[in-house]
Amino acid sequence: MSAAASRESADAGAVAFVTTHWSVVLAAQGESETAREALEKLCRTYWWPLYGFVRRNGYGPEEAQDLTQGFFALFLERRDLDAVRREKGRLRSYLLVSLKNFMAKAWRREMAAKRGAGRALVPLDELLARERADFEPADMLSADRIYERRWALTLLEQVLARLQEDYRAAGNETLFAQLEELLADEPDRRSQADIAQSLGMTENAVKQSFHRLRKRYRELLREEIAHTVAVPGDVEDELRHFIAVLQT
């Protein structure tokens, strides 16, 4: 993803703060369908980063799976989400601190006893497939750094998936596939003129289409960030942090 494109998202102050910014956290309690969907989103966003942190601390795949699943189970059982709301914190930071505390309290015996109990919050085959495809230079990254990188990349995936769905629903998936290349800072990326030729469009039409795509990308990124902070003033700081993580 282009650092320039990401940087522009931090300047999208005209986009209104999402009033449901904390809904994904608060709705992850209870037995309703809304709560189930919110919990699934919460877990899918943070499972891979938290699991990466655990693995980097020397745990094997199975043990890391148990610890990560056990952490989420206890986190919800103890209604720690209420504490997040009271502290008006950032979910990214709060979850990592909570996981560190969890790992420091000798829960391994309890996790071994609970192995296989309950439904995995994220399919483990999906988790392991993602780990096998992970080409991060883990030997050069700290556990905290792996967590941050995976958090940013997962967030980016979610934004691009929503953006693609917008274009698919409008019957413009082919256009999206072409324009998405322009968001990257790859030196060998195609020019707008090349894309215009391949799509049978004018270069100006491609330019305008990319402008609209980039604007929608910024809006969606801001929305996803807003779901994980407690107060509007934290959105810009979290956006800047997201950009910094991807640039380093």
Q: Domain limits of the chain?
A: 3-247
Q: What is the structure's pLDDT at 9?
A: 47
Q: SS3 helix, strand, coil % of the chain, rounded to 5?
A: 70, 0, 30
- CA angle, 218 as apex, 214 and 223 as ends, to 5°? 145
Question: What is the percent of the chain with per-residue pLDDT over 70, rounded to a whole number?
Answer: 67
Candidates 213, 209, 90, 232; CA nearest to 163 is 213
Instruction: Note if the pTM is more than 0.95.
Output: no
Question: For 146-204, what is each residue's pLDDT tens digit?
Answer: 999 999 999 998 999 999 999 999 999 999 999 998 887 676 788 999 999 999 999 99
Structure tokens at 48: 């891979």
pLDDT of 11 strictly over 50? no
Q: Which of 22-31, 44-53, 207-216 has the lowest mean pLDDT?
A: 22-31
Structure tokens at 75: 């986190």
Supply the mean pLDDT for the chain. 76
